[in-house]
DNA sequence: CTGAAAGCGCTAACAG
DNA sequence: CTGTTAGCGCTTTCAG
């Protein structure tokens, strides 16, 4: 006398349907022990007939460790973020983990706390926090120490294990390249920093100081290319500006556009370089000189560290990589 | 005599530490019933001291419905995908859901099945599948019917409830615009279609036929702008090509670059239009004429449908929006 | 208000 | 091989 309920079937329903005990069903489900072929078939049939799917929650409660990795980020769709997440997901998936994403919109306490609460409300094996911006940094600070956590950043910092792209060295090299071209100094348009100063800005500053060049006040852009365009228009009115180092390629494209709208040509009138090697950087006119950041690889390395933590292996605190600069056509010697 | 174990504390530990029963701890945790202020404080202290966090898995098993929404997509980092995911996550988070992402790399059966298995291996409340490509379509077909599912697409199709951006109408309008400018026909470079033909291509074809224009064979690009560049170079050698409608802005930018590298100018020599209104479309030289696709809104609408399904409300099968075209400077009347 | 008792759905340990 | 017996960690009756 089966009650036609509309709730999903449970293992007991299958057992009854197949005329076996619950553990026997479990055995065919997990393959943990041998079951006679006959009962096995009956069970399989019953499972099919009932469209039964074991409750992952119940399974998790009994034995299995969580197979979910949470990513906390200030953003998901901008190039660097999206690629980093892609790298994490790809590696995690290969290892049988699912990745969840929760964005931390601002660094406000409430916002951060509610995002963190959301994350902790899932059965997670570990957390990756993208520390590219203020919200990311804030989130990291609110996470309980008891959960395996790694961070991703553009600069080495103590705390949890960290995957980093050494941005300051790359920026340093890029600025030196500009200086070597003959520019007296290099102006800088930065993206929203994660703390006082990001690696890109630090590298720029150091290179300038090392060469005894003047260090101009940086311009502040948002993540929107449009903000770069506005700054580009301002820059167009300042003849002393001959070289500009932008915080990322999208901003560089905006800056170039702004310059162009004000009648200045790149690189003839002013050289502009970016950072990241966005897929469109090479399509731009002129093709952008920039730094090739392997974000997907970065995400992948972060997963590697996290996996070590989860498995209880001894993991090193840093996985650092030095991104190479890629010279194209948006920078040249200054005029005259 | 407390055993100093290194396993995370459970509710029983807290109860012992506070000198109360387990249900009492549970009551202060959930606020489900009144607890004397004194015991309440003792419990809170014990929780703090032990750094206890209730097992979400156990909680889920007892009562709570899953608070995880899975997104299945062929890709996560390309503009349209990333923005759509952002829209889903934003709405889901506002409603207290976390979003997981799993990529379906190809439409191969094994690949699709393992991605689907990964998703079903989490306690999920519902699924949204991005049906922008073959892998997405394939994944949708392998999903059990018993789980609330919605899809996102550029064209109306029967099946599960669906959020759609009416791409064919927009493409139709864009092609008409080009024809009105005086072009005899419009060539088409398409991105990888999700089925025989995508809405963008259908709209293009229909517009051409409606006007009695010749329908040239479309060119096939990948998602990589570089593939657009290659095609652009080919196009440069064909003087009969005066207008090109590209499957998305990134491809359009590649096409323009290829044309440019072969000495042709846009829009003077050939008009090129894109699709999506990528943030860089407006920065491009020339600024791209395109279709303004509200991907984030699309994701948000998809979440709305899914939420209805999860809550058991009656939900309509379609949430359709018609994206507007945005005229900028990459298209003009043909020369001569 | 509060403790004892009874599960949630599944797997593991233990006898046969 | 297979059924019975115990839980996993938490919430929810159900008596007091």
- One DSSP character per residue, A132-157 reads SSHHHHHHHHTS-TTS-EEEEESS--
Q: If residue A318 lies in a helix (H) or strand (E), which one and from where to where?
A: strand A318-321
Note the CA–C1' distance, A43 to D10, in angstroms: 30
* Per-residue pLDDT, B65: 81
Contact residues, chain A, for B11 at CB < 8 Å: none
Alpha-carbon distances, residue A173 vs A157, A179, A190 (angstroms): 21, 10, 17
Q: Which residue has the tokens 């990528």?
A: B278
* Per-residue pLDDT, A3: 37
Pairing of strands A187-190, B271-273: unpaired
- At residue A5, does pLDDT exceed 80? no
Give chain C positions with protein CB within 7 A: 1-5, 7-13
Give chain D positions with protein CB within 7 A: 1-5, 7-13
Which residue, counting CA atoms, is nearest to the C1' of nucleotide D3? A21
Report the DSSP beta bridge partners of residue A321: A165
Q: Any atom of strand C under 7 A from CB of B35? A: yes
Cα separation, B213 vs A7, in Å, equals 57
- At residue A335, does pLDDT exceed 80? yes
Put simply, the answer to whether A57 touches B55 (Cβ < 8 Å) is no
The overall average pLDDT reported for chain A is 94
Alpha-carbon distances, residue B317 vs B32, B91, B138, B281 (angstroms): 38, 19, 20, 33
Q: If residue A205 lies in a helix (H) or strand (E), which one and from where to where?
A: helix A199-210
Substitution target in A77, A95, A125, A233 with the highest count of B β-carbons within 10 Å is A77
- At residue A242, does pLDDT exceed 70? yes
* Per-residue pLDDT, B7: 76
- At residue A315, does pLDDT exceed 60? yes
Put simply, the answer to whether B98 touches A85 (Cβ < 8 Å) is no
> What are the two backbone dihedrals, phi and then psi, of residue A73, each rounded to the nearest 5 degrees?
-145, 155
Put simply, the answer to whether A280 touches B225 (Cβ < 8 Å) is yes
Span of A172-176, A312-316, A329-333, B231-235 with lowest mean pLDDT: A312-316
The whole-model pTM stands at: 0.92
At B10, list the tokens: 């459970």
Note the CA–C1' distance, B58 to C6, in angstroms: 16
Which residue, counting CA atoms, is nearest to the C1' of nucleotide D2? A24
Note the CA–C1' distance, A59 to D5, in angstroms: 19
Q: Which nucleotide's C1' sits nearest to the alpha carbon of A53? A: C9
Put simply, the answer to whether B123 touches A82 (Cβ < 8 Å) is no
Q: Delineate the domains of chain A, giving CATH numbers in brackets.
A: 68-165+294-321 (3.40.50.2300), 167-292 (3.40.50.2300)
At B142, list the tokens: 């392998």
Cα separation, B73 vs A223, in Å, equals 25
Note whether B67 and A121 are within 8 A (CB): yes
Cα separation, A284 vs A326, in Å, equals 14
Q: HEC states along B37-66? A: HHHHHHHHHHHHHHCCCCCHHHHHHHCCCC
Note the CA–C1' distance, B45 to D9, in angstroms: 20
Note the CA–C1' distance, B63 to D6, in angstroms: 22
Contact residues, chain B, for A146 at CB < 8 Å: 8, 51, 53
CA distance B45 to chain A (A): 17
Put simply, the answer to whether A253 touches B99 (Cβ < 8 Å) is no
Report the DSSP beta bridge partners of residue B126: B69
The percent of residues above 70 in pLDDT, for chain A, comes to 98
Contact residues, chain A, for B67 at CB < 8 Å: 121-122
- Strands across the sheet containing A187-190: A219-220, A187-190, A243-246, A271-273
Contact residues, chain B, for A72 at CB < 8 Å: none
CA distance A211 to chain B (A): 34
Longest dimension (CA), chain B: 95
* Per-residue pLDDT, A244: 98
Note the pLDDT tens digit of each residue in A243-301.
999 999 999 999 999 999 999 999 999 999 999 999 999 999 999 999 999 999 999 99
Note whether B255 and B225 are within 8 A (CB): no
CB atoms within 10 A of CB B327: 14
Q: Any atom of strand D under 7 A from CB of B19? A: no
Cα separation, A119 vs A82, in Å, equals 19
Q: Any atom of strand D under 7 A from CB of B265? A: no
Alpha-carbon distances, residue A65 vs A124, A311, B293 (angstroms): 9, 11, 41
How many residues are given for chain B? 336
Q: Any atom of strand D under 7 A from CB of B60? A: no
Residues A135-152, mean pLDDT to the nearest whole number: 94
Burial class (CB in 10 A: 0-12, 13-18, 19+), A81: buried
Q: How far is C-alpha A11 from the chain's CA centre?
A: 40
Per-residue pLDDT of chain B (336 residues; tens, 9 = 90+): 333 446 789 999 999 999 999 999 999 999 888 899 999 999 999 999 999 999 888 988 887 788 999 999 999 999 999 999 999 999 999 999 999 999 999 999 999 999 999 999 899 999 999 999 999 999 999 999 889 999 999 888 888 999 999 999 999 999 999 999 999 999 999 999 998 899 999 999 999 999 999 999 999 999 999 999 999 999 999 999 999 999 999 999 999 999 999 999 999 999 999 999 999 999 999 999 999 999 999 999 999 999 999 988 999 999 999 999 999 999 999 987
> Per the omega criterion (within 30 degrees of 0), is the bond before A69 cis?
no
Alpha-carbon distances, residue B174 vs A99, B37, B164, B199 (angstroms): 38, 68, 18, 13
Cα separation, A227 vs A233, in Å, equals 10
Note the CA–C1' distance, B228 to C3, in angstroms: 72
Put simply, the answer to whether A253 touches B282 (Cβ < 8 Å) is no
C-alpha closest to that of B179 among B245, B258, B86: B245
* Per-residue pLDDT, A6: 63
Q: Considering CB atoms only, which of A100, A226, A228 is closest to B68?
A: A100
Contact residues, chain B, for A82 at CB < 8 Å: 76-77, 82
Q: How far is C-alpha A240 from the chain's CA centre?
A: 37
Put simply, the answer to whether A120 touches B55 (Cβ < 8 Å) is no
Q: Any atom of strand D under 7 A from CB of B210? A: no
Note the pLDDT tens digit of each residue in A106-133.
999 999 999 999 999 899 999 999 999 9
- At residue A2, does pLDDT exceed 80? no
Residue of B nearest to A92 (CA): B102
Alpha-carbon distances, residue A274 vs A62, A168, B65 (angstroms): 51, 14, 47
Note whether A233 and A204 are within 8 A (CB): no
Q: HEC states along chain B? A: CCCCCCCCCCHHHHHHHHCCCHHHHHHHHHCCCCCCHHHHHHHHHHHHHHCCCCCHHHHHHHCCCCCEEEEEECCCCCHHHHHHHHHHHHHHHHCCCEEEEEECCCCCHHHHHHHHHHHHCCCCCEEEEECCCHHHHHHHHHCCCCCCEEEEECCCCCCCCEEEECHHHHHHHHHHHHHHCCCCCCEEEECCCCCCCCHHHHHHHHHHHHCCCCCCCCEECCCCHHHHHHHHHHHHCCCCCCEEEECCHHHHHHHHHHHHHCCCCCCCCCEEECCECCCCCCCCCCCCEEEECCHHHHHHHHHHHHHHHHCCCCCCCEEEECCCEECCCCCCCCCC
Contact residues, chain A, for B284 at CB < 8 Å: 257
Cα separation, B317 vs A133, in Å, equals 39
Q: Any atom of strand D under 7 A from CB of A35? A: yes
Residue of A nearest to B48 (CA): A144
Residue of B nearest to A284 (CA): B257
In eight-state DSSP terms, residue A276 is B
Cα separation, A244 vs A175, in Å, equals 9
* DSSP reduced 3-state for A269: coil
CA distance A206 to chain B (A): 31
Contact residues, chain B, for A328 at CB < 8 Å: none
Note whether B71 and B135 are within 8 A (CB): no
Note the pLDDT tens digit of each residue in A210-219.
999 999 999 9
């Amino acid at each position: 006398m089966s009650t036609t309920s509309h709730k999903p079937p449970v293992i007991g329903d299958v057992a009854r349907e197949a005329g076996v005990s619950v553990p026997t069903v479990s055995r065919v489900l997990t393959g943990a022990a041998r079951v006679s072929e006959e009962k096995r078939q009956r069970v399989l049939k019953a499972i099919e007939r009932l469209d039964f799917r074991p409750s992952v929650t119940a399974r998790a409660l009994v034995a299995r460790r969580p197979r979910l990795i949470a990513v906390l980020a200030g953003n998901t769709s901008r190039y660097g973020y999206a690629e980093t997440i892609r790298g994490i997901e790809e590696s995690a998936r290969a290892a049988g983990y699912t990745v969840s994403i929760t964005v931390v919109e601002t660094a406000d306490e409430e916002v951060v706390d509610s995002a963190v609460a959301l994350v902790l409300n899932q059965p997670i094996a570990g957390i990756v926090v993208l520390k590219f911006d203020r919200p990311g940094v804030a989130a990291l600070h609110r996470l309980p120490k008891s959960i395996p956590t790694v961070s991703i950043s553009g600069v080495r910092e103590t705390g949890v294990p960290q995957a980093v792209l050494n941005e300051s060295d790359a920026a340093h090299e890029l600025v030196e390249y500009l200086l070597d071209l003959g520019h007296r100094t290099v102006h800088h348009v930065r993206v929203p920093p994660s703390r006082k100063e990001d690696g890109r800005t630090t590298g720029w500053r150091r290179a300038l100081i090392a060469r005894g060049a003047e260090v101009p006040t940086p311009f502040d852009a948002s993540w929107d290319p449009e903000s770069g365009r506005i700054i580009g228009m301002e820059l167009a009115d300042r003849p002393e500006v001959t070289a500009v180092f932008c915080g990322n390629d999208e901003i560089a494209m905006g800056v170039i556009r702004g310059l162009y709208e004000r009648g200045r040509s790149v690189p003839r009138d002013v050289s502009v370089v970016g950072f990241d090697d966005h897929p469109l950087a090479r399509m731009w006119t002129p093709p952008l000189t920039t730094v090739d950041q392997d974000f997907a690889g970065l995400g992948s390395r972060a997963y590697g560290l996290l996996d070590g933590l989860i498995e209880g292996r001894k993991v090193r605190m840093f996985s650092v990589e030095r991104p190479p600069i890629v010279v194209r056509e948006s920078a040249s010697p200054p005029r005259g």
